[in-house]
Structure 1
Amino acid sequence: MPSTSKTSIPFTPPMECLAGGRIPEGDIWIYELKLDGYRAQAIQDRNGIRILSRNGKDLTKKFPFVSRDLSEAIGPDTAIDGELVAFDEKGQLSFNALQNAGSGTHVVFFAFDVLVSQGTDVKVLALRDRKNLLEAILKTCHRVQLSAQFCGRLSRFLKGVKQIGGEGVVAKRLDSRYEPGRRSGSWAKMRINIGQEFVIGGFTPGSNGIDALVVGYYEGRKLIYAARAKAGLVPASRRELYEKLKPLTMQTCPFVNLPEATPGRWGQGLTAAKMSECVWVKPRLVANFEFLQWTDSNHVRHIKFIGLRTDKDPLSVVRE
């Protein structure tokens, strides 16, 4: 269907959630399920329909069926904020399925905010008003859905999230404006299952190219070592990661807190001797990991690789 839009809507850097700590409670807060997918912005303007990642990368052609449904679901001169998620053959949310999405993968865009409506910038409105507007203008369909929200006791919502095996909870102030690119605290998130993204700064060689990944997070512009990750790496992912990391190799270690004096109680400390076994890479790739806990020495225990994140700026990866 040809676009009836008259304007060109620029990409808006997404508002971010403050991570970690306690989830706030009270009548001024609403709660949403934290979805394990790609943050995405759907824009319909005179250029047609576009799906853009959190850093502005065009995903329209990667998800053609979602793009088609979005062109019918949102009106002209409109921009919607949301999350792209995929479901596996069992109907469960699957980040791996999203990464490897093909024509047969069931991918859905869950909308949770509106930024522009019929050419009017609505980011200055309170969240409660933007939510009401979104519900009024969005024509939900098979691949475009409205993200559910919950008002009430946080404990009840958390119980439900745990029962369905949800990843976590997002809390949002009903009186908050949309703050592009900011992590102000008006939105907050908490994981139920411990995990987060880490930046890959190196690897140890092994079968199929890689034995373990050396990963960390940023404090400002300083990359901090957190762990070596081996679990979750299967032959196919080892080969894929090696091909992506090989062009990024360099001589200098990117982690500012290495070497460490001792391996530590849990063996995650990276000493000078262990560093000699590592191949260092430019910190360009981000991946999802699950783990048991943070240690007192700021390492993570029992870390498991889940999948690459192509939609994340490495500098945005902090300790959660």
Structure 2
Amino acid sequence: MRNARERLKFIKPLEPVQVETPPVSDDWLHEIKYDGFRTQLVLDWAGVRAFSRNGHDWSQRYWPIVTAAEKLPAQSFIIDGEMIAPDPDGRPNFHEMHSRMTWNAELLAFVAFDLLYLNDEHIRALPLSSERQGSGT
């Protein structure tokens, strides 16, 4: 069990690998490439923080998402995902990211990829199965 005053830490995400052709076997998973910024949401005893893919705290830039994440029914979590600036039809618009982060953060959206930590348990070691995917991501 963690020290009650210790903050949860950012977990450096794995970098994607681009390939020319997809794998042939059925035991591969993939993620859609959204045109946004890789983001990790971290909830611990002191509230939610949002980190860039390099571990920089961007909570103030993403304040509406941070506020919404604080309402999730969990004691603690680390969620890996992508912050996007969706157009009205829902498609990500990368060219709008900086403008929205500065002037219209309420128009940002967070797309969750993976739940890395939940309620004092590291779940990264669990198999990436339908059970893990259904646990909150």
Once the two structures are superposed, residues 91-144 of structure 1 have per-residue CA deviations (whole angstroms, 9 ceiling, x without a partner) of 431112112112365211111101111011111111114312224xxxxxxxxx
**Partner of 1:36 in structure 2?**
35
1:125-140 equivalence runs, <5 A: 125-128=126-129, 129-135=131-137
Q: Distance in 2 between matches of 1:33 and 1:111?
A: 11
Which structure has more relative contact order (CA 8 Å, sep 6+)? It is 2
Q: Which amino acid letter does the alignment assign opposite residue 54 of structure 1?
A: R
Gap runs ≥5 in structure 1: 1-5, 136-320
Q: Distance in 1 between matches of 2:135 and 2:98?
A: 31
Q: Which amino acid letter does the alignment assign opposite residue 60 of structure 1?
A: S
Give the SS at the match of 2:135: helix
Q: Distance in 1 between matches of 2:21 and 2:106?
A: 35
Query: Is the contact made by 1:88 and 1:105 (CA closer than 8 Å) also made in structure 2?
Result: no
1:151-230 equivalence runs, <5 A: none
Gap runs ≥5 in structure 2: none
| Identity level (%) | 28
State the Cα RMSD in Å. 1.9
Once the two structures are superposed, residues 31-68 of structure 1 have per-residue CA deviations (whole angstroms, 9 ceiling, x without a partner) of 43211110010000012100000001111100111111
Give the SS at the match of 2:32: strand
**Partner of 1:10 in structure 2?**
9
Once the two structures are superposed, residues 229-260 of structure 1 have per-residue CA deviations (whole angstroms, 9 ceiling, x without a partner) of xxxxxxxxxxxxxxxxxxxxxxxxxxxxxxxx
Distance change >3 Å, CA 19–CA 106, structure 1 → 2? same
Q: What TM-score comes out, normalization by structure 2 length?
A: 0.84
Q: What TM-score comes out, normalization by structure 1 length?
A: 0.38
Distance change >3 Å, CA 117–CA 27, structure 1 → 2? same
Distance change >3 Å, CA 100–CA 113, structure 1 → 2? same
**Partner of 1:50 in structure 2?**
49
1:53-132 equivalence runs, <5 A: 53-73=52-72, 75-89=74-88, 91-101=90-100, 102-103=103-104, 106-128=107-129, 129-132=131-134
Q: CA deviation at 1:23?
A: 1.6
How many residue pairs end up in the alignment?
130
Q: CA deviation at 1:74?
A: 5.5
Query: Is the contact made by 1:45 and 1:76 (CA closer than 8 Å) also made in structure 2?
Result: yes
Q: Distance in 1 between matches of 2:56 and 2:18?
A: 24
Once the two structures are superposed, residues 165-220 of structure 1 have per-residue CA deviations (whole angstroms, 9 ceiling, x without a partner) of xxxxxxxxxxxxxxxxxxxxxxxxxxxxxxxxxxxxxxxxxxxxxxxxxxxxxxxx
Q: Distance in 2 between matches of 1:116 and 1:74?
A: 14
Query: Is the contact made by 1:88 and 1:106 (CA closer than 8 Å) also made in structure 2?
Result: no
Q: Which has the higher strand share?
A: 1
